[in-house]
Each structure stands twice: as structure tokens, then as C-alpha cells.
Copies of this chain bind each other. A is one copy, B any other.
Amino acid sequence: MADNVILRGQELDLTDRYWRAANYLSVGQIYLMDNPLLREPLKPEHIKPRLLGHWGTTPGLNFIYAHLNRIIKHRHVDVLYVCGPGHGGPGMVANTYLEGTYSEIYPEVSEDIAGMRKLFKQFSFPGGIPSHAAPETPGSIHEGGELGYALVHAFGAAFDNPGLVVACVVGDGEAETGPLAAAWHSNKFLNPERDGAVLPILHLNGYKIANPTILSRTRDGDLESLFWGYGYQPIFVEGHEPAEMHRKMAEALDEAFDLIEAFQTDARSKPEYRDVPRWPMIILRSPKGWTGPKEVDGKKVEGFWRAHQVPVANCRRDDSHRKILEDWMRSYEPEDLFDGDGRLKAELRALAPQGDKRMGAVPYGNGGRLRTELILPKLSEHAVEVGERGSLQVQSTEVLGRYLRDVLKLNAGGSNFRIFGPDETESNRLGSVFEETNRVWLQKIEEYDVHLARDGRVMEVLSEHLCQGWLEGYLLTGRHGFFSCYEAFIHIVDSMFNQHAKWLKVSRELAWRKPISSLNYLLTSHVWRQDHNGFSHQDPGFVDLVANKKADIVRIYLPPDANTLLWVGDHCLRTFNRVNVIIAGKQPESQYLSMEEAIRHCEAGLGVWEWASFEDDTVSPDVVMACAGDVPTMETLAAVMLLHEAIPALKIRTVNVVDLLALQDPDRHPHGLDNQTFDEIFTTDRPVIFAYHGYPSLIHRLTYRRTNHENIHVRGFVEEGTTTTPFDMTVINQLDRYHLALEAIERVPGLAAKVPDVTEKLKDKLAEHTAFITESGEDMAEITGWRWRRV
């Protein structure tokens, strides 16, 4: 345990000056485009034409930053600063500038007057930097836009990083969100032996945009009780007088870091069972807009919501406003902080840590620097022997589960791979992973519990928000992961996916941000096999959202069987800076492709299945039967058989799509198939009956620029669902083999008139099905027992 040195005298004074420097630079960024050091009186033209940014939270963020610097220097620890109130972007930028990291990354923003002028002007300025902490911000893994995810990101960063302390600032606004409220329970998943620590700092500054916050007005005692109940020991730092607050904060941080060290030392030296450590947290209560104007135009500002954004607004036109601004900035005494060249004075520079210990430079904040490739098993070791096509029934995700088990085994030493899911790993048939590892569980374990352990690598909690957030934090700090989820409920994290995709889009444009591993989703228990859970569990719309994102960020895979799923899973674990969505069922299903065929098919993204086609090489087929997704593939193959048996002369081509975005034209998506090949496969004029896993519109959207798109007729989920049988799910959405075959007959010119008997027979089959299941509760045997055979 480090010797705690009480903050007093010179150190207190220096810390306060450092804080003032950060505050000065923060205000400067919000307001000024010139005259950065106030070497002359403020004039209208020094003020930016549009004043943007959030002052309210910023002095608190700066206060914390200064004190964390002190802790890092005293204790030689690695600290990552996760800034929940990321809209306090000026503070994060100011501090990384003060410690030198900003200018190292962006040399044009140099440590002198010219650089400071650039620093100020670029903030929230066209062509400049965002107003929030963002990928552009050194040391940040957390965008300050949509609130709720600071704490899950922090825990994600701490897992498997035993030497790291993540200091996570949670604003009292953000603390009202659902994901944040659940995230406090992450302490039950943090292993003091193997993981780093998270130090939450709940920053109560009292107000949101226009309202008090719930926690800041929570009655005495309840606040402490709440966080004690969450399992923490809260340390309070409350006040507004700077010197007193510096002393309190230094003491609080010393106490917190002592506790962290004690828990870790204890756990790492004595491995016997203990309950979850009662980790420290800090509750910092300080005024909103602390050190800013007390009043403007006779209205309360400091300590009130009016300090939230720009506390004094009209500085260009209103002399009295400009005077308030100038007085405010001069109150920090810039001449006491910066030397004649505009550089932070040496005695203050000495307060910041050095090199990679600086929070703007800590490698965890640019996780790609730490990332190493996974060691991956050979696909051949997990390949399914298909035998006669369609004769073998296999749970594809179970095969992937064995592959993932081996990924865990091969990378056990690296401690850089985890599997995430909302209590569904076993349900999603990935249970083989429990041969190699367990679920993480730090609370009490009963003797009859199974697959629970303190050092498990499978993270399960009934919150998609926590799974997603932990995984994001884990990836952003340079590791790898895999998230399996019921397809319908992945919508719970739509907005988190959205924000992560935005982070990736911007990160890819920054050379200094090293690539991180892709975020890999396995969506299973999907719409077609939630017949037992009913309508609420039936929704394939997540990919529609995914397809809105920039093409180089996203991939959508629909492997139809186990070997294709294996290839896709393996491929996704090799990629970086992407979001990969894999959709595959967990129920027993027919197997079609050998591993070699699967590799060829997946690499192409889509292709003709010649073994399932009935055509000759000399002419175009009469109809193309296309499919994407495991259930649509099964129904399409059955439809092809029905058609071929009933109308042997019909020339049928069967096309399967694995990599959905290959359908898009190549100038829209890097995986887009070139137009010539596309036209060869889908023809330029023949009807295409496309059976698709999700909402049909996506296929139209992806293919609308293709030559033959007028003839592409898509069937998919049309929002009809209930508790029924698997086959009936396809019938009520008209995606079943009979509807597919009927549509083919209807679309091939002249065919319907020639084979009215076939049409009638298919319609009879549909009626027979409905009567049969309503009575028996089962699908007809010939349907569930269908298997592919070449005639």
C-alpha cells in the first residue's frame, strides 16, 4: 500500500493551478477563436460566431483529471479515464493538451500561443473537432453523445487487465438511464484476482439540461444505502470551496486506491472463496458550472441548470456579456499558468505523468495498440461430414460451439477472448464452450450449481445492454469477443450498435487509432424458430438498421448450414473495425455443403447451387429460386423439388446467398458482386423467387440498381406471428415451399395455364397442412421429415 501523502501547501497550490489551467482552456475552447491568452482586451471578433459546447460538467471533469494525475504519479498505476459526461469534451481536450499528448498526435495544435489559438478555434467549428469526447479525443474509448454506457464500457475495459484501474465518471443525468442503473451490478462479474479495477465516480452536479437530477435530490441516507446495496462502499466528496475540495478529493482517491490495492493483493495471494469485494466508489458533489459566472442578467447560473451549456451567450454583441466572459477567464489568472510563449509553466507540467502513463496516451485508450491476433482452430477439425445432401440433421450452432470451445482453449494463455450473452449460451446450443470454461460468477456458488466459476470466460447476465457494453469496452481495449443473442431482442441494443458503428466510422479515418477487433453478433433463436415463444420473440429487423451504416463497417451473413456457419464464424474472428452480424438457427437442420464447398461458397458470398438446379448450360433457366437464411434455404430446396417432380421440363436454377451485402452493387459496398457476375447468376430477364430470412424490403433495397430487379419477387417475414409450429410460421408468412412453388408457376410466363393441376395440388397441400396442425399440434410428417435428395 502506498504511503498516503496528505495534500497540503505547495502541492495543493500546484494542483489548484493545474485545474485552473484546464478550466481556462475549456472556456477558451467554447468561446474564443483568437486572442487565446487575453494579451489584449476581448473584442467581438475574438469570439466565435456560434457558441457551442457544455461548460456545466467540465470543471468537475477537470478537477477529477488533475487528481487522477496526482494518483498516477504517486502510485505509478495505469489509469484509463472513461468520461461518461463526454459532452464535457472541452475538458478532455484541455487535459490531454496540458499533458502533451494532444500535440503529439496533432502537431499543428502545438504547445504555444499559435497552437492554443488553433486548439480554441477548432473546437465545435466546421472542419474542426466535435464538441463531445469522441474518437478524435486522445485516451478516450467512450463517445460522449448518447448517455448510459460509461460504466459498462469501464468494466469491459477492466476485464482481463489486472494492472489497470478504470476511473469512470458517471454524471447524475446519465445515472438516470436504464443501462447505467443496471451497470452498477457489473461489480458481481469483476474478479479481483485476474481483472483490473473500476473506480466509479458519481458526479452529482445537480442538474440536467433543464431539471434537477433524481440522485442529487435523493434524501440523506438513501443515496448511501442505494450504493451500499449495489455492493459498493461510497466515499463522499462534497463542497465547493476549492482548497477544501482538493484536500477531500485527494483523501478520497487515496482511500479508494488503498482499498483497490488491498482487495487485489488479498485475492491474488489467497485464492480461497470470498464474496464480491465491496469496491470503493466516490460520490463527488460539486456545483454545476463550478468557478463559472454566478449570475448572468440577474439569473442564477453557477450551481444551476443554466450553466449546462454556454452560460453567457451573447458575447459578440453584448458588451456586458463579453465583460462577464473576460472576467471569468481572467479569474483563472492565465499569466500564472502559461509562460510567455503560451506553454504551460514547468512546475505545472511536472504534475502530469510521463509517456504512456498519461491518461491521453495510455495504450488501453487506443486498444488496437495492444491487440494481438487470436489463435484459431483449423476449420477441418470441426467440419461436418455431410454425406448425402440433406440427409444429416445437425444443430449448426452446436458445431460452432465446439469451434468456439477450441478458440477458448487455444487462447487461454492470452486471456483475450470472451463470450457474451443474456443467459442464452446453453439455450443457443453453444454449450460445448463449458467443456473449456465456465460462466463468470463472483457471488455465492451452491454445490448444485453448474458451470459457474470466478474465472469463467462466458459472461451471462439478463441484460443485452450489459453484454453489449462490456463487449464494446473489451474490444475497445484491444481484445476479442463474441455475442450470441436471441434475434428479436438484439433490438434492445439498436442504439448501442448504432453508436459503436459511428465510433468505428470515425476511428477508421484517424491514422493514429489502431484497428480493434470486430464486434461479432450471432443472432440465433431466430424468427422462424420462435414458434414456441410467439410473436414477441419474432423479429428479424435488426439487419435493416445495420444496412443503414457505412458499407465498410458492416457485414451480414446468413449461413444455411453448419459448415458455412463455421467458415463465417472463423472469418468474423479474423476481421477488425467492423460489426459482423451472423444469423443462424439453433435447431436441427439439413446439411448441404462439404467444408470445401462451404469455403468456396462463402468466399464468393453467393452462388448457384448446381446440385440443386435443373437446367442445361445452353439457355437461361425458366426461373431462379434464390434464398438467404437457413429456413428459407430449406423451403426453397423443397419448393425446387416440388416443382421439378411436378413439372420435369421446367428449368430451375437455385441460388443461395450467404454474404447478404454481396447483393448490393459494388460501388455501394466493397463486398458487392460485380454487375456482370450478378447478371449471369440472376439472369437479366427471368423471374427470381427470392426467399429471404427477414423483412422483404431489404432485398429490394440491396438489389434495386441491378438489371433484373424488376423480376425479383421477395418473400420473407411479413409481421405475422404467434405460437405455432415451425412450418406453420413459414405458411402464415407465405414463405413456405408451397407458396414459393406457386409463385414460381405464376411468374414463369404461360406456365400457370399449362399446369392448373399442379397449382391445385399445391393449394390442397396448404389446406391439408392447416387442418392437420390445428388438430394434432404437429407438422405433417412428410414435411418435418423432408430431406434433400437428388432425383
Q: Which residues of A contact B (CB under 8 A)?
A: 33, 48-50, 52, 87, 121, 124-132, 134, 143-148, 173-174, 176-185, 188, 208-214, 217-219, 222-231, 275-276, 300, 304, 423-427, 439, 441, 443-444, 446, 448-449, 452, 460-463, 465-466, 488-489, 491-492, 494-495, 498-499, 502, 505-506, 532-537, 539, 541, 544-545, 547-550, 695, 697, 700-701, 704, 719, 722-725, 728, 773-774, 776-778
CB-nearest residue of chain B to A717: B548
Given the contacts A725-B126, A777-B49, A179 and B178 also touching, CB distance less than 8 Å = yes
Given the contacts A48-B777, A228-B222, A462-B147, A535 and B549 also touching, CB distance less than 8 Å = no
Given the contacts A697-B548, A719-B550, A182 and B181 also touching, CB distance less than 8 Å = yes
A696 to chain B, nearest CB (A): 9
A445 to chain B, nearest CB (A): 8
A534 to chain B, nearest CB (A): 4
Contact residue among B48, B222, B444, B491 (Cβ-Cβ distance under 8 Å from A231): B222
A130 to chain B, nearest CB (A): 4
Pairs across A and B, CB under 8 Å, 22 listed: A33-B777, A49-B776, A127-B774, A128-B723, A129-B723, A131-B532, A131-B723, A134-B534, A146-B536, A177-B462, A178-B179, A180-B182, A209-B427, A210-B423, A212-B446, A213-B462, A222-B229, A224-B229, A226-B230, A494-B545, A697-B701, A701-B701
Given the contacts A209-B426, A214-B188, A777-B126, A498 and B539 also touching, CB distance less than 8 Å = yes
Q: Contact at B725–A132, with CB atoms within 8 Å?
A: no
Contact residue among B230, B275, B449, B502 (Cβ-Cβ distance under 8 Å from A212): B449
Determine the chain B residues whose CB is within 8 A of the CB of A722 once the complex forms: 130
Q: Contact at B704–A443, with CB atoms within 8 Å?
A: no
Determine the chain B residues whose CB is within 8 A of the CB of A185 once the complex forms: 176, 181, 214
Q: Contact at B536–A145, with CB atoms within 8 Å?
A: yes
Determine the chain B residues whose CB is within 8 A of the CB of A33 once the complex forms: 777
Given the contacts A212-B441, A448-B304, A536-B145, A275 and B462 also touching, CB distance less than 8 Å = no
Q: Contact at A536–B134, with CB atoms within 8 Å?
A: yes
Contact residue among B182, B494, B700 (Cβ-Cβ distance under 8 Å from A704): B700
Determine the chain B residues whose CB is within 8 A of the CB of A426 once the complex forms: 209-210
Give the top 5 A-B pairs by smallest Cβ distance, nearest first.
A145-B536, A226-B229, A178-B178, A225-B229, A491-B495
Given the contacts A145-B536, A225-B228, A178 and B439 also touching, CB distance less than 8 Å = no
Given the contacts A128-B723, A231-B222, A427-B209, A461 and B536 also touching, CB distance less than 8 Å = no
Contact residue among B180, B226, B300, B463 (Cβ-Cβ distance under 8 Å from A177): B463
Determine the chain B residues whose CB is within 8 A of the CB of A52 once the complex forms: 532, 723
Q: Contact at A466–B178, with CB atoms within 8 Å?
A: yes
Given the contacts A423-B173, A423-B210, A494-B494, A488 and B146 also touching, CB distance less than 8 Å = yes
CB-nearest residue of chain B to A152: B178
Q: Contact at B174–A462, with CB atoms within 8 Å?
A: yes
Contact residue among B125, B225, B505, B700 (Cβ-Cβ distance under 8 Å from A723): B125
A441 to chain B, nearest CB (A): 7
Determine the chain B residues whose CB is within 8 A of the CB of A463 once the complex forms: 176-178
Q: Contact at A423–B462, with CB atoms within 8 Å?
A: no
Given the contacts A174-B462, A463-B178, A49 and B778 also touching, CB distance less than 8 Å = yes
In Å, the complex CA distance between A144 and B723 comes to 13
CB-nearest residue of chain B to A125: B777
Given the contacts A723-B124, A723-B125, A492 and B489 also touching, CB distance less than 8 Å = no
CB-nearest residue of chain B to A173: B462
In Å, the complex CA distance between A700 and B498 comes to 22
Determine the chain B residues whose CB is within 8 A of the CB of A146 once the complex forms: 488-489, 492, 536
Determine the chain B residues whose CB is within 8 A of the CB of A549 once the complex forms: 719
Q: Contact at A176–B723, with CB atoms within 8 Å?
A: no
Determine the chain B residues whose CB is within 8 A of the CB of A143 once the complex forms: 536
Q: Contact at B219–A275, with CB atoms within 8 Å?
A: yes
A579 to chain B, nearest CB (A): 13
Given contacts A145-B535, A146-B489, A177-B178, 20 further A-B contacts (CB under 8 A): A49-B777, A127-B773, A130-B723, A131-B532, A132-B533, A148-B178, A177-B465, A181-B185, A210-B426, A217-B443, A217-B444, A222-B229, A222-B230, A225-B229, A494-B494, A506-B535, A541-B548, A547-B697, A549-B719, A700-B704
A221 to chain B, nearest CB (A): 8
Q: Contact at A534–B126, with CB atoms within 8 Å?
A: no
A463 to chain B, nearest CB (A): 5
